[in-house]
Structure 1
Amino acid sequence: MILFKHAARVAVAALALLAASGARADYVWIEPAGAGARILVGEIGAPRPLALHGAKILAASGKAVDAPAQGARWDLPVVPPGDLRFSARAEAVAGTLEFLHARSGRHDTRAGNDLELVPTQRGGSTFRLFWKGEAVSASQVRVSTSAGWNKTLRPAEDGSVTLDTPIPGLYVLVVSARMDGGAAVVDGKRYNEVRHTATLSFWEGE
Structure 2
Amino acid sequence: MNFRTAGRLAACAAALLIASAAQADYLWLQSEGGRAKVYVGELGKPLAQLPALGDARPVLPEGKTLPLETAANHYAFQPQAGDLRFTAVRTGDGVLTYLQARFGRAETKPLNDLELVPTEPGGNRFQLFFKGRPVAASQVHVETSEGWRRVLAPAQDGTVGFTPWMPGLYVLEVTARVNNGSVTLDGKTYEDVRHTATLSFEVPR
- What is the TM-score when the length of structure 2 is the normalising length? 0.88
Offset at residue 116 of structure 1 (A): 0.1
- Of the three residues 11, 15, 19, the one matched with 1:13 is 19
Does residue 41 of structure 2 align to residue 42 of structure 1?
yes
Please state whether the residue corresponding to 2:69 is helix, strand or coil.
coil
Structure 2 CA distance for aligned equivalents of residues 31 and 121 of structure 1: 21
1:3-61 superposed Cα distances (whole Å, 9 cap, x missing partner): xxxxx7111222xx1x3xxxx61100001102222100111111113111011202467
Partner of 2:85: 85
Partner of 2:162: 163
Q: 1:54–1:89: 8 Å Cα contact kept in structure 2?
A: yes
For residue 75 of structure 2, what is the aligned residue in structure 1? 74
Question: Residues 51 and 58 of structure 1: is their aligned pair in 2 closer, same or farther, counting only changes over 3 Å?
Answer: same
Question: Is 1:173 the equivalent of 2:172?
Answer: yes
Matched, 1:100 2:78: no
User: In 1, distance between residues paired with 2:165 and 2:28?
Assistant: 21
Question: Which one has more relative contact order, counting CA pairs under 8 Å at least 6 apart?
Answer: 1
Counterpart residue type for residue 198 of structure 2: T
Find the counterpart in structure 2 of residue 5 from structure 1: none
Do the aligned partners of 1:59 and 1:81 also contact (CA within 8 Å) in 2?
A: no
Counterpart of 2:64 in 1: which secondary structure?
coil
Q: Following TM superposition, by how much is the alpha carbon of 1:71 offset from its aligned partner in structure 2, in angstroms?
A: 4.1
Report if the CA contact (8 A) 2:139-2:154 is conserved: yes
Q: Identity of aligned pairs, percent?
A: 46
1:137-162 Cα offsets, whole Å, 9 max, x none, are 00000001100000000100000001
Distance in 2 (alpha carbons) for counterparts of 1:9 and 1:98: 16
One-letter amino acid matched to 2:202: W
Q: Distance in 2 between matches of 1:68 and 1:42?
A: 19
Counterparts of 1:100 and 1:46 in 2: how far apart (Å)? Answer: 17
Counterparts of 1:47 and 1:122 in 2: how far apart (Å)? 29
Across the aligned residues of Structure 1 and Structure 2, the Cα RMSD in angstroms comes to: 1.5
Give the letter aligned to residue 24 of structure 2. Answer: A
Aligned to 2:137: 138
CA contact (8 A) 2:183 2:191 kept: yes
Q: Which residue of 2 aligns with 1:29?
A: 28
Deviations, residues 72-103 of structure 1 (Å, cap 9, x unaligned): 51123x42111110011001x31110100000
The normalised TM-score by structure 1 is 0.87
* SS in structure 1 of the partner of residue 155 of structure 2: coil
Q: Output the amino acid matched with 2:117.
A: V
**Which residues of structure 1 form unaligned runs of 5+?**
1-7
Kept in 2, the 8 Å contact 1:60–1:82? The answer is no
Work out the CA distance in 1 between the residues paired with 2:121 and 2:191.
Answer: 38
Structure 1 distance, partners of 2:71, 2:149, is 28
More helix by share: 2
